[in-house]
Structure 1
Amino acid sequence: MGLVDPVELVPVAELGPVHFIAIGGSGMNGIATMLTQLGVSVSGSDRSDSAYLRALETSGARVHVGHAADQLGDAQTVVASSAIREDNPELAEARRRGLRVLHRSAALGSLMLDRRGVAVAGTHGKTTTTAMLARVLTGCGLDPSFVIGGALTGTKTGGHLGGGDVFVVEADESDGSFLQYPAEVAVVTNVDPDHLSNWGTAEHYADGFLTFATSARVRLLVVSADDPGAVTLTARVRATLGDRPDPLTVLTFGEHPDADVRISDARFAGTGSAFTLTADGHGGPVTLSVPGHYNVLNAAATYAVATWLGAPGAGVRGQLDGYAGTNRRFQLVGTVDGIRVFDDYAHHPTEVRNTLLAARTGVGDGRVVVCFQPHLYTRTRDFSRELAAALELADEAVVMDVCGDREDPIPGVDGALVAHAVGGATHVTYEPDWDLAAPTVARIARPGDLVITVGCGDVTKVAPKIVSELTLTRGAA
């Protein structure tokens, strides 16, 4: 796939009719929705139908299921993500016609022009922190625009065009596209080596975050005081401050005693938490209805950004209390006979570990049953042992085969590579047949268990199938 080179941003008024390839994707539908709200003629296609496509159609976009060259219509600009191959018929036709072809990040950057951009980056926690910020700033009356890599719970889009001057975006580092955004505020939740098939080395990956954090436009860097990679980044950033023509404020957050926004008295129960946030000697209690220590950290980052933008601290804490989450982030799919079934997007070893730690807190006297689908052959090759170690936090693990997505298979790299490396007391079942995953999990689960599907591929479709299987065998949901 490779890294995306930043380009000069094109004002929205100059884009003309815009066609999106894979318009239903989590990173695309929000951008497309906002362009329709601005009166831009929008069309797009995706390989399969979805609620996202139907919502876009309702908003005025012309959508297609499947890809074909003639679907470009009168488009002057074509938007594609890094996952789109050059032989895609629509992309090939756009190249043949000489149309403007933009990476999705450049299209999003166009929307951010003349706004106060907030770009949320980090190996983990981007989507949740962006969603928290959107919720908090909206609730505090700032009416921000935002684009999130997952729909807010209860909605069918991750994008909103607000009337305020703040624009919050989830900034993806996987392909380097986070360097495209004209951000005044840069957020780094953590720096944990990933996507090395694009970056090459962990050092280059860390260098990308340094470039992101020290962009000439950035006026505020909000960065973790607890994560080792982020701490190293902060030291590197501070070493550059004397060379900047414009000031850059650095605010840290975390449980470290020197953090500018400090977390204390954290308590976890069920699928929620309670803690205290303090900054400049002021603060108060916060409760979250979403699980995990990682979400406490995400809330602290949100507090730092929102208060710097002018939202009152008490108002921010109150809005965090009501945050309901986003799709595919420890999302409850259904409950059958005392068995709760959740779905989560975690795919990096650290994310899988954090998700299962949260599950252990929330399971009570039952067992944690995870259905895990490794994502990408390169990530499975590079992190199979680390993924296996994370799965050892579950009592039962059903490991599916690899979701290769945009990658070609690598000989010898499959789900068994992860499954066979799981040790400890965890009982492992390797199930390479996608259609048998849900029946296998349903057969294993028993009342009181917390079942969770984990991965960023099509394992998300397994979760409702598990609920259906349980309903058939155990009674109505």
Structure 2
Amino acid sequence: MKDVSPRLVHFIGIGGTGMRPLAEIALSQGYQVSGSDQNQSSSTDELVARGARVTIGHRADAIPSGPVRIVASTAIKGANPEVAEAQRLGLPILHRSEFLHELMSRFKPICISGTHGKTSTTAMVAFMLREMGLDPTAAIGGELVGTNSYSMNGSGPWFVAECDESDGSFLRYEPYLSIITNIDLDHLDYYQDLEGLKRGFLTFVNRTQADGWAIFGWDNHAAREVAHEFAGQRLTFGTRIGAEVRGLNFKSHGAVADYEAVVDKILIKGSAPVVGRHNLQNILCCLAVAKALDLDLPKAAAALARYPGVKRRFSLVAEIDGVKIFDDYAHNPGKIQSCIEGAREAFPNERLIVIFQPHRYSRLETMYNELMASFAAADEVLIMPVYAAGESTDKDFSPSILAEDLSRVSQVKAQPYSTETLNKLLQSPRRPTVLITVGAGDVSQLSQQWKDALHEQKTAQERTPR
């Protein structure tokens, strides 16, 4: 077989949140890009518009002829027909982290890891650097609002990347800045327990370049323990005493928050269009990055005031007739709890209804009790069937069983989701309501459906003679 050209790359699952940013950056850097995905989506359409060749459905003939490298994630198994065909042809198969490492190779990497908050923090750091004129490249696991993109493609020295710890693949990078936002229970099918998780994160920060910095979320106990074991240059952020970038105050006003922070005895006062106290951690992390790179801190805070947000991170879908509809990607206990508590803080007087779609049986099997305890700040929880993502189980995780256990543990009203059930909740009693669709599957479609339904109801009421 001829030498394989490094400029022809085929992505399996090209429209996924982990693959799309890599495909976008590859296209901008002059690679020939093809790929496949199970379903057509706005992501696949956008990549086609940018010049990628995309096949819908996974099949052997989706792989282009000629010398090509295959990029796949851990979720893509050998039974996939494209993987099997690539193996038959002797084509190189790269894990997505290997290709991300290649894309980062001519930049100074800023690698952002953590159990939750990675996407928002990555987007916020990249946006801050861009607003400050540093023109970064970035691979983000979500769409920055207003850009129709999961990436930035700059000419500056910095490459900001969301780095996935779920399968240990973040150990392939050599960051200039390595960031741990937090370490909480997740991915126990890979790490087994919290100690395994901490060992993985310690190995990650130990790969930081000698002249670089490791940045730790100081409010998180496990991250703090890893920080104590790290021997290189470090910075910490949080609200806890001892954090070098320390948040003092945070106050939500609906969809905007004011904050104060101290960095090197300098008081920074700012505001940002974010909801939830967990976003203070993201802001403090950005200020820590600014400090590590010796940037102007007041200008960094001014840049964050213009941050547009990431889709599916407490994104406002609609506000119709007293009902605010939000959509959030939260799918593990820490993310879910932060999302709901943030909504409660921002909207303390509204009724809070959550439509929850559990994600993966493996997550339910390894952290069931933690998940059931994540909803205490809600008033009502409606549970959809599990989004299996190709997994199977012999246990009963039906919506009715989950609702019974969630009601008992979180002490909230919970029941299986149905259109009729939610319609009754919204109609009686009539009161200001925040409705949030929560989950990593296709639950976000319901936010759009209820936007349309409420709009139709309001239109019909306005047309009815009084």
Which of the five TM-score ranges fits, normalised by the shorter chain? over 0.9
Give yes or no for the alignment of 1:441 onto 2:422: yes
Q: Is the 8 A contact 1:363 1:449 kept in 2?
A: no
Give yes or no for the alignment of 1:71 onto 2:62: yes
Give yes or no for the alignment of 1:270 onto 2:263: no
Match of 2:278 in 1: 294
Distance 1:199 1:417 in 2: 27
Question: What amino acid is aligned across from residue 137 of structure 2 in structure 1?
Answer: S
Shift of 1:34: 1.1
After TM superposition, the runs of 4+ consecutive aligned structure 1 residues lying more than 4 A away are: none
For residues 356-367 of structure 1, what are the structure 2 equivalents within 5 Å?
356-367=340-351
Match of 1:233 in 2: 226
Gaps of 5+ in 1: 1-12, 242-247
Distance 1:168 1:210 in 2: 20
Distance 2:422 2:161 in 1: 36
Match of 1:188 in 2: 180
Match of 1:418 in 2: 402
Q: Deviations over 1:85-132 (max 9, x none)?
A: 221111111111111101111111100002110000000110111000
Question: What amino acid is aligned across from residue 220 of structure 2 in structure 1?
Answer: D
Q: 1:193 to 1:365 in 2, by over 3 A?
A: closer
Q: Deviations over 1:261-310 (max 9, x none)?
A: 01112222223221112111123101121111110011101111123223
Give yes or no for the alignment of 1:30 onto 2:21: yes
For residues 317-466 of structure 1, what are the structure 2 equivalents within 5 Å?
317-421=301-405, 422-423=407-408, 426-431=412-417, 436=418, 438=419, 440-445=421-426, 446-466=430-450
Distance 1:303 1:35 in 2: 29
Match of 1:6 in 2: none
Q: Is the 8 A contact 1:346 1:454 kept in 2?
A: yes
Give yes or no for the alignment of 1:217 onto 2:222: no
Shift of 1:382: 2.5
Q: Is the 8 A contact 1:363 1:448 kept in 2?
A: no
Distance 1:349 1:116 in 2: 33
Shift of 1:439: 5.1
Shift of 1:465: 1.2
What is the DSSP-based 3-state SS (H/G/I as helix, E as strand, rest coil) of the residue aligned with 2:103? helix
Question: What amino acid is aligned across from residue 70 of structure 1 in structure 2?
Answer: D
Q: Is the 8 A contact 2:24 2:150 kept in 1?
A: no
Distance 1:198 1:415 in 2: 26
* Residue 44 of structure 2, aligned match among 50, 53, 60: 53
Aligned residue pairs total 451
Q: 1:68 to 1:439 in 2, by over 3 A?
A: farther
Distance 1:308 1:231 in 2: 18
Give yes or no for the alignment of 1:103 onto 2:89: no
Q: 1:138 to 1:408 in 2, by over 3 A?
A: same
What is the DSSP-based 3-state SS (H/G/I as helix, E as strand, rest coil) of the residue aligned with 2:295? coil
Match of 1:244 in 2: none
Q: Deviations over 1:323-360 (max 9, x none)?
A: 12101100011122120110101111121111111111
Q: TM-score, normalised by structure 1?
A: 0.91
Distance 1:290 1:354 in 2: 13
Match of 1:170 in 2: 162
What is the DSSP-based 3-state SS (H/G/I as helix, E as strand, rest coil) of the residue aligned with 2:176? strand
Distance 1:342 1:91 in 2: 38
What is the DSSP-based 3-state SS (H/G/I as helix, E as strand, rest coil) of the residue aligned with 1:352? helix
Shift of 1:222: 0.6
Gaps of 5+ in 2: none
Distance 2:420 2:55 in 1: 33
Give yes or no for the alignment of 1:254 onto 2:238: yes
Shift of 1:415: 3.6
Distance 2:259 2:32 in 1: 46
Q: Is the 8 A contact 2:358 2:386 kept in 1?
A: yes
Q: Deviations over 1:54-110 (max 9, x none)?
A: 111111111121112111113510111112122111111111111110111111110
Q: Is the 8 A contact 1:337 1:475 kept in 2?
A: no
Q: 1:314 to 1:84 in 2, by over 3 A?
A: same
Distance 2:457 2:369 in 1: 35
Shift of 1:206: 1.2
Distance 1:452 1:349 in 2: 16
What is the DSSP-based 3-state SS (H/G/I as helix, E as strand, rest coil) of the residue aligned with 1:78? strand
Distance 2:431 2:442 in 1: 26
Distance 1:403 1:286 in 2: 39
Distance 1:447 1:77 in 2: 56
Distance 1:14 1:256 in 2: 51
Distance 1:359 1:60 in 2: 40
Match of 1:306 in 2: 290
Match of 1:199 in 2: 191
Shift of 1:472: 2.9
Distance 1:29 1:358 in 2: 29
What is the percentage of aligned positions where both structures have the same residue?
36
What is the DSSP-based 3-state SS (H/G/I as helix, E as strand, rest coil) of the residue aligned with 2:250? strand
Shift of 1:447: 4.5
For residues 123-138 of structure 1, what are the structure 2 equivalents within 5 Å?
123-138=115-130
What is the DSSP-based 3-state SS (H/G/I as helix, E as strand, rest coil) of the residue aligned with 2:353? strand
Q: Is the 8 A contact 1:353 1:391 kept in 2?
A: yes
Question: What amino acid is aligned across from residue 94 of structure 2 in structure 1?
Answer: L
Distance 2:98 2:444 in 1: 28
Q: Is the 8 A contact 2:182 2:216 kept in 1?
A: yes
Question: What amino acid is aligned across from residue 441 of structure 1 in structure 2?
Answer: L
Task: Please say which of residues 266-275 and 325-334 is displaced more in the overlay.
Answer: 266-275
Give yes or no for the alignment of 1:474 onto 2:455: no
Distance 2:208 2:311 in 1: 34
Distance 1:294 1:339 in 2: 24
Distance 1:382 1:420 in 2: 19
Q: Is the 8 A contact 2:178 2:208 kept in 1?
A: no
